[in-house]
Amino acid sequence: MSKPVTSIKLVLLGEAAVGKSSIVLRFVSDDFSENKEPTIGAAFLTQRVNINDHTVKFEIWDTAGQERFASLAPMYYRNAQAALVVYDVTKPQSFIKARHWVKELHEQASKNIIIALVGNKVDIVDENEEERKVAREEAEKLAEEEGLLFFETSAKTGANINEVFMGIGEKIPLKGPEEEAQGSGLNVTDDQRVNLDSPGNADGPAGACSC
């Protein structure tokens, strides 16, 4: 007896070396490595989680952070249902970049895309509050203005990482059994699926389906 599976296409954006790949690695493999090679182009990973009665399969595109690769980003966020915009709480510049990404997503991405603003590397701040360069309040304010989910995380310790993805999973309208028949895949019904529900009722689990 298999649970219904919903695929969520998710993209990570953010400045270089803020920890995008590390967040994904923690979420997918519950692992961490101090010096991860810079991502070139984009990396693809998947992870399944159970949310209420549903299995949600995250199909994650982890993009490269360096400015030079930014022209590739639209290809990855074009059909995404969710995006993590990541910054480094110890690097103010990365927060500025995060603002840009949020703006670009609102302008270019799918209208109903769910965006989570993620301030990473809080473990550094936990050790020494002086390292914090992006105030939590400032980020919360941005999240509120732009209608974003907001988390502060540490990929190193794992703090709050799963919560980010669960939060997103709960906001995505889940697929009913009859939709299952349409088959899965990235490119099939992404847009339809998102459009079926208004953003308002996203919190309800299976009941939110169109029937």
Partner 1 sequence: MGVRSPTKDAGYSTRETKERESHSSSTTSLVTSLMKSWRISSSSSSSSAAARVDYSTQSLSGNPTTGTYSEIRHSASASSSHANSKRSLTHNDNASNSSLAKNSSEYGAYTLSRSSSADGNFDAMAKQQNSTARSASSTSNTFSPLRYTSPSGGQIESPRASLLRQKHNKHSHHNQQYYQHNNSSAISELSSTKKSSDKYFEDLDEDWSAVIDNYNMPIPMLTNGGNAHSARYSERHSHSQTRDAQRNSLSRTTTASSIGTTGASGSGSQGQSTQYPQLPNLNIAEALGVDKSQEEIDNEREVQELNSIMQRITKFDSILQGRHIINLQELRQLSWNGIPKPHRPIVWKLLIGYLPANTKRQESLLKRKRQEYCESLKHTFSDEHSRDIPTWHQIEIDIPRTNPHIPLYQFKSVHESLQRILYIWAIRHPASGYVQGINDLVTPFFQTFLTEYLPQSKIDSVEVTDPDTYLTKEQKTNLEADTFWCLTKFLEQITDNYIHGQPGILKQVKNLSQLVKRIDIDLYNHFEKEHVEFIQFAFRWMNCLLMREFQMDTVIRMWDTYLAETSPETTSSFSSSNALNMSNDTLMSPHTPISRKPATFSTPMGDQTSPASTASRSNLSANTAPQAVASPGGASSSDDTSKRVTHSSLNEFHVFVCAAFLIKWSDVLCDMDFQGIITFLQNPPTKDWTETDIEMLLSEAYIWQSLYKDATSHWLK
Site residues, partner 1 (CB under 8 A): 16-17, 33, 35-38, 40-46, 59, 64, 66, 68-69, 71-72, 75, 185-187
Helix/strand/coil for 57: strand
- Confirm if 209 and 174 have CB atoms less than 8 A apart: yes
The DSSP line for 155-200 is: TTTTBTHHHHHHHHHHHSPPPPHHHHTT---SSSSHHHHHHHS-GG
Q: Which is nearer to partner 1, 42 or 209 (CB)?
A: 42
Beta-sheet strands, E only, within 15-160: 42-51, 54-63, 82-88, 114-120, 149-152
Q: How far is the CB of 17 from partner 1 (least distance, A)?
A: 4
Question: In angstroms, what CA-CA distances link 139 with 18, 87, 88, 154?
Answer: 15, 10, 11, 16
Q: Which is nearer to partner 1, 64 or 102 (CB)?
A: 64
Q: How far is the CB of 204 from partner 1 (least distance, A)?
A: 28
Q: How far is the CB of 101 from partner 1 (least distance, A)?
A: 17
Q: What angle do CA 82, 95, 125 make, to 5 degrees?
A: 105
Q: How far is the CB of 58 from partner 1 (least distance, A)?
A: 11
Q: Which is nearer to partner 1, 135 or 186 (CB)?
A: 186
Q: Which is nearer to partner 1, 185 or 199 (CB)?
A: 185
Q: How far is the CB of 38 from partner 1 (least distance, A)?
A: 4
The closest alpha carbon to 9, from 59, 44, 56, belongs to: 59
Q: Which is nearer to partner 1, 68 or 211 (CB)?
A: 68
